[in-house]
A and B are shown apart, each in its own frame.
Chain A
Amino acid sequence: MAILLERSFPVAAGAYTTAGEASTTIKRTLKQLGVNTEVLRHVSVACYEVELNLVIHSLGGTLTLLVDPEKVTLISKDVGPGIPDIEKAMTEGFSTANEEARTLGFGAGMGLPNMKRNATGFDIQSEMGVGTTITMTFALA
């Protein structure tokens, strides 16, 4: 499938102040491309959740946006530390977020399940000491 657009955004670990800037840019970019409001909201929510996860939990990573005529794809790839138990991490209410994240109103253990709920396709791969890759697709039709 022909890629119409590809953009990558580095996301730094612990960058609470700027967390969400990549998602804001992604949302505005997709809006300009004319993605419909409903799909756009699903992408935005999942994107913001995954970006926050990179800031809160990872050692840093990259958020990549791919757009083709049929779907929007978001790939979050970090450099560790990895998730020891993915099944547990996917459970609503389970969280290992720190106090700083909680003070900002996050870290309720809703992130991963909420991403899955908003995306059409959701895949998570994680290896301890290597990193986590989350791939989400959102159908445009």
Chain B
Amino acid sequence: MTIRDVLEIVDGKVLTGEKYLDTTVQTACGSDLMSDVLAFVKESAVLITGLINPHVVRTSEMLDITCIVFSRGKQPSEEILEMADEIGITIISSPLTTYTACGELYMRGLPGSKPKAVKTAEGA
């Protein structure tokens, strides 16, 4: 699905990165623990989180996460939006809780990132 689909499914608002709405996303991850996100997320992923600080964007940049959905209608600061804009990450604010947003996306076919226990020769 595309970021535009994600936006509709989570009933969200785009706060920055409108021009990337047609980008395809392949997996998603719902977590407030950036340590966990760093440990298993793959590229072309959406991150759904209730945690709001600049490290969410920085973590996303390191992992090539293309879209962040802040749940429960949380509003990130200008600093966070500017960082995301500079990197080219779409930020969406959704009124849904993290659990519900993840559930809706999963139900419509967006799978979770699988834990990478061992290094594999993936995605050539």
Contact = CB atoms under 8 A, between A and B. Distances in A.
A107 B33 CA distance: 9
Interface string A38-75: 10010011011100000000000000000000000000
Q: Classify the interface of chain A: helix, strand, loop or mixed.
A: helix
Contacts of A106: 34-35, 55
B58 interface: yes
Contacts of A111: 35
Candidate in B33, B59, B119 with the most chain A CB atoms within 10 angstroms:
B59
Interface stretch (B13-21, B60-68, B93-101): B60-68
A117 B53 CA distance: 26
B81 to A, nearest CB: 17
A27 B61 contact: yes
B85 interface: no
Interface residues of A, number: 24
Interface in A103-117: 104-111, 114, 117
A91 interface: no
A23 B62 contact: yes
30 contacts: A19-B55, A20-B55, A23-B62, A24-B58, A24-B61, A27-B61, A37-B43, A37-B64, A38-B123, A41-B43, A41-B62, A41-B63, A41-B64, A44-B61, A47-B62, A104-B34, A105-B32, A105-B34, A105-B35, A105-B53, A105-B59, A106-B34, A106-B35, A108-B33, A108-B35, A110-B35, A110-B38, A110-B39, A114-B35, A114-B38
Interface of B: 32-39, 43, 51, 53-56, 58-59, 61-64, 116, 119, 122-123
Interface of A: 17, 19-20, 23-24, 27, 37-38, 41, 44-45, 47-49, 104-111, 114, 117
